[in-house]
Amino acid sequence: MSSAIMSGAGMSSAVLAIAKDEWRYWRRSSLAQTVLLIALVLAIASVWVTQAAITATAEKRQHMQAEAKQVFEAQPDRHPHRMIHYGHYLFRAPPPLSALDPGIDAFTGNAIFLEGHQQNSATFAEQKQSSGLNWLGKLTPAYVMQVLTPLLLIVLGFGVMTREREAGTLDFLKVQGVSPLTLMLGKAVALAGAGLLILAPLVVGALLTLLNGAALLPVVAFVFAYLLYLAIWCGIVLAVSALASANSSSFSGLMAVWILMCLILPRIAGNTASVALASQGKLETDFAVLQSIRDTGDGHNANDPAFKALKDNLLAQYNVATVEELPVNFRGVISLYSEAHHTEVLNKFAEQKMQSEQAQADIARNFGWLSPVIAIQTASMKLAGTDLENYQRFLREAETIRFDFVQSLNTLHAEGLSYAQDANRYSSQQAQQEATVSSANWQILDDFHFTPLAPMQLFANSIMALLQLFCAMAVVVGFILFAGRRI
């Protein structure tokens, strides 16, 4: 028992000695110092810049949301249907963890205009308003950790094992009783230390998001996912360097792995998803929507044949002969009826589009079993609340608010004006003034704050991506054990 403890202690000291020796070599190497400096500067700069940008964006959107509500409520006395077309804006505030991973927010838009008879797309997408050079990727903490940090780890550690072989010290270490496992563990500790050093700014940024309202569970899972991701790349660097016969072959092999994982497979995943499930184009969809809406009748035309049954039912219900005798404004009733049917059609097409997008995203995410880069992208966006599902949730919430807002004004149209006032409002200036309602009726908007999902839901949504990372880690560990037996 005591000998086992002593041998374990001896192995631990040997592992630490090998790790310290590797760090000593890096301190003497100008290339290693430059790589570590670049990695730290990129990580710190990305966290600082993105944190400041997201904080400013959140404050700006909250201000614009309050201002949009104030401007709507400040409108003078008007006809209710004019206010339906005047419309209202909703702004999507970024979640706290978007300071580390903005996700798809730059591509999807952050504001949506609400009005009657149609569902508008989100607008003001940052990517569409920027220069074409942004295809290279924004300098966000997520991009630095997912793409650039593995490259820097490769440049730093491609020779951790091949250097010993080329210098002839590998055989000397074997003679001294250092097993291949001990040597690889020591090199792994050194690489892990470099990974943790680069990860430190992300951890600080994650702690700052807690002060801005982020929940503890998603933040901890977010940091753990990146810790696991960098551990995978450290293992890849170590295994390839152990199998390679020279520094040049190790570096070229690792660069091939990086290009495949970080550049080729993500592009293949996206192209495969779009080809496997081709979605309808916007023009084709718009024509189909217009055709379906046309069949439900024109809500601006009280004499449209599509509303004959509605008219007959109302006349029979109130036992009157003409629409002028109805206790409600028939034009307003048509607006209520027409908006409900239009919304049903619009929602059907919107759901079809979102389900198609979701299916394509699921196909692309399945490539996370082949590339840890895709897995960490999925886990990162889901934990940050900047994925496709959260964007679609914003669209659904916006549509619910749009329908309630429009129908409240349509109800005011039906109950606040007589049919005669409404029908004759363009006959004279006085008639036009009479066909209005008080501006006090515009106080119908609720305060809108788009909030992320519950912490447990965010974590649950990321479980599949985390499992992909664990599987990748298991494969890498097996690869390291195989490489260790080859030494």
pLDDT more than 70, % of the chain:
94
Q: Which two tokens stand for residue 224?
A: 């753990």
Strand-strand pairing, 118-119 and 111-115: antiparallel
In this prediction, residue 128 has a pLDDT band, given cuts at 50, 70 and 90, of low
Paired strand residues for 111? 91, 123
Q: What is the pLDDT of residues 401-424, one digit of tens each?
A: 999 999 999 999 999 888 888 888
| DSSP symbol at 486 | H
Could you tell me which of 216, 195, 199, 201 has the C-alpha nearest to residue 47? 201
pLDDT at 14: 85
CA distance linking residue 367 with residue 360, whole number of Å: 12
pLDDT at 126: 63
**What is the rounded average pLDDT of the residues 431-455?**
85
More confident residue, 254 or 57: 254
Q: Which two tokens stand for residue 190?
A: 């050194």
Give, in order, the Cα–Cα distances in Å from 176 to each of 3, 14, 171, 200, 296. 19, 11, 9, 36, 87
In this prediction, residue 57 has a pLDDT band, given cuts at 50, 70 and 90, of confident
Mean pLDDT value across the chain: 87
pLDDT at 136: 44
In 29-113, alpha helices (H): 30-73, 80-86, 105-108
In this prediction, residue 209 has a pLDDT band, given cuts at 50, 70 and 90, of very high
pTM: 0.89
pLDDT more than 90, % of the chain:
52
Instruction: Tell me the backbone φ, ψ of residue 45, rounded to 5 degrees.
Output: -65, -40
Torsion region of 399: left, alpha or beta (phi above 0 gives left; psi -120 to 50 gives alpha): alpha
In this prediction, residue 109 has a pLDDT band, given cuts at 50, 70 and 90, of confident
